[in-house]
């Protein structure tokens, strides 16, 4: 499905702060839609003091949590970069006539966005968006190198769940794909715009989130620590718990593709991932600098699962590789809170500036 300009130029709700302060001066930020389809929207955060430095594309994880979870990341980046973000529509609001949306479509969207933004765009994938970001980069390097990103940064991504498997990794592998079809996929009810669409529902996502929050509360994990001491950018209007507990549905096709690709068959890690019938080969990435960032206490994408991207990108020279393991934080600390602002953001910005490409 080809993206098109959206009829409404401004997007609500706001996904980042409505102003930035640069050089002691505050500037209003407009959150403008530049591309849209029923399933995704490409947003631009525009203000009068847009830095001449890095243009970046942040790809929201299609994980069942709203894009507002990226409030800290997008807010802090927009003061330093020319920020675009690719976000996904709640499929419960997408009419059945719009068709299906699987992993191939997810990768398509990243490719479309990079083609639209043009050369010099830095690509950031995190959590579930790490795989499509890496795949899109490999596809463009192999077939359309002028549209390849200026750099690729992956944070807390599940690229090979066999490495240091988490509780969720092991549990997902214990059940067959047929079990997931029968027990986790439902139809959107009649009162929603997407009535009749097959989805992994927001209700089921809520149960999973409550279980996850309860476990962290009992063990004193990262979620519990952030609830007790919310270190976000705007804790009054955007409390961490509110950002986290904002479930939406996931298209059934994408959910099942992910279960098979990331958990059951390790398709990308084993060199068997295909997009539109073409093999996805990270070995085609020869000159796109790669930064991977992991969290020591990550129990969603455990350490090693993102770093494996360096093994997959076999043709990338050492000078274009960087990796960082941040101690003392879990998954969400990679893009939310004091550690993100104080230690990860400066490292990310330094990497982007060191690998600018016009």
CATH code of 62's domain = 3.40.50.1820
- 10: in domain: no
Residue 266 has pLDDT above 70, yes or no: yes
65: DSSP letter: B
Does residue 333 sit within a domain? yes
Q: Are 282 and 230 in contact (CB under 8 A)?
A: no
1 within domain boundaries: no
Mean pLDDT over residues 129-145, rounded? 97
pLDDT tens digits along 26-85: 889 999 999 999 999 999 999 888 765 589 999 999 999 999 999 999 999 998 899 999
Q: Is the pLDDT of residue 234 over 60?
A: yes
Distance of CA 223 to the CA centre of its chain: 19
| Residue range(s) defining the domain that contains residue 127 | 19-354
- Residue 119 resides in a domain: yes
**Which H or E element spans position 69?**
none
Q: What is the pTM of this model?
A: 0.95
Check: CB of residue 212 under 8 Å from CB of residue 245. no
- Identify which of 50, 60, 43 has the alpha carbon closest to the alpha carbon of residue 80: 50
| Number of domains forming the structure of the chain | 1
Q: Helix 130-143 vs helix 103-117: angle between axes, to the nearest 10 degrees?
A: 60
Tell whether 302 is covered by a domain: yes
Q: What is the 3-state secondary structure (H, E, C) of 223-288?
A: HHHHHHCCCCCCCCCCCHHHHHCCECCEEHHHHHHHHHHHHHCCCCCCCCCEECCEECCHHHCCCC
Question: Which segments of the chain are extended strands (E)?
Answer: 19-22, 25-28, 30-36, 40-46, 55-59, 82-88, 121-126, 151-155, 185-187, 198-200, 250-251, 274-275, 278-279, 290-295, 321-326
The answer to whether residue 8 is domain-embedded is no
Binned at pLDDT 50, 70 and 90, residue 357 comes out as low
* Element housing 16 (H / E): none
Q: Is 182 exposed, middle or buried (0-12, 13-18, 19+ CB in 10 A)?
A: exposed
* Residue 78 contacts residue 16 (beta carbons within 8 Å): yes
Residue 11, Ramachandran bin (φ over 0: left; ψ between -120 and 50: alpha; else beta) = beta
In this structure, are strands 198-200 and 250-251 parallel, antiparallel, or unpaired?
antiparallel
The closest of 320, 336, 334, 299 to 149, measured between CA atoms, is 320
* Dihedral angle over CA of 337, 342, 347, 348, nearest 10: 40
pLDDT higher than 70, residue 5? no
Distance CA 15, CA 105 (A): 23
Is residue 105 assigned to a domain?
yes
> What is the structure's pLDDT at 10?
60
Give a yes or no: residue 34 inside a domain. Answer: yes
Q: 237-270 b/e with 16+ CB inside 10 Å = b? A: ebebeebbbbbbbbbbbbbbbbbebbbbebbbbe
How is residue 351 written in tokens? 């990497």
Average pLDDT over residues 312-326: 97
Q: For the CA atoms of the chain, what is the radius of gyration?
A: 19
Quote the CA–CA distance of 11 and 29 in Å, as a whole number.
12
* Predicted confidence (pLDDT) per residue in 195-222, tens digit: 999 999 999 999 999 999 999 999 999 9
Tokens 């990794």 sit on residue = 169
Identify the CA nearest to 125 among candidates 146, 152, 150.
152
Q: For residues 205 and 352, what is the distance between their CA atoms, to the nearest angstrom?
A: 34
Whether pLDDT at 9 is above 80: no
């Amino acid at each position: 499905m080809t993206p098109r300009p959206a009829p409404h130029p401004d997007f609500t709700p706001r996904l980042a702060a409505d102003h930035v302060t640069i050089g002691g001066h505050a500037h209003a930020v407009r959150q403008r839609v530049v591309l849209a389809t029923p399933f995704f929207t490409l947003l631009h955060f525009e203000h009068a003091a847009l830095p001449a430095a890095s243009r970046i594309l942040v790809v929201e994880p299609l994980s069942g949590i709203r894009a507002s979870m990226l409030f800290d990341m997008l807010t802090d980046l927009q003061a330093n970069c020319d920020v675009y973000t690719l976000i996904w529509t709640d499929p419960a609001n997408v009419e059945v006539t719009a068709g299906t949306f699987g992993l191939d479509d997810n990768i398509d969207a990243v490719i479309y966005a990079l083609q639209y933004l043009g050369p010099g765009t830095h690509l950031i994938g995190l959590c579930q968006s790490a795989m499509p970001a890496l795949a899109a980069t490999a596809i463009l390097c192999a077939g359309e190198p002028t549209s390849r990103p200026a750099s690729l940064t992956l944070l807390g991504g599940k690229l090979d769940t066999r490495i240091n498997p988490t509780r969720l990794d092991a549990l997902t592998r214990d059940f067959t794909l047929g079990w997931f079809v029968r027990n986790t996929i439902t139809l959107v009810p009649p009162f929603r715009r997407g009535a009749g669409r097959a989805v992994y529902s927001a209700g089921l996502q809520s149960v999973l989130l409550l279980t996850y929050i309860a476990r962290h509360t009992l063990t004193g994990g990262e979620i519990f620590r952030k609830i007790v001491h919310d270190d976000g950018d705007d804790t009054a209007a955007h409390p961490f718990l509110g950002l986290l507990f904002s479930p939406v549905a996931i298209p059934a096709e994408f959910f099942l593709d992910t279960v098979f690709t990331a958990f059951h068959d390790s398709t990308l890690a084993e060199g068997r991932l295909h997009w539109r019938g073409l093999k996805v080969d990270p070995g085609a990435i020869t000159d796109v600098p790669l930064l991977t960032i992991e969290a020591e206490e990550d129990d969603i994408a455990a350490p090693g699962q993102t770093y494996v991207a360096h093994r997959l990108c076999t043709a990338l020279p050492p000078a274009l590789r960087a990796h960082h393991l941040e101690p003392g934080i879990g998954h969400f600390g990679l893009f939310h809170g004091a550690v993100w602002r104080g230690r990860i953001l400066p490292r990310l910005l330094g990497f982007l500036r060191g690998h600018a490409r016009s």
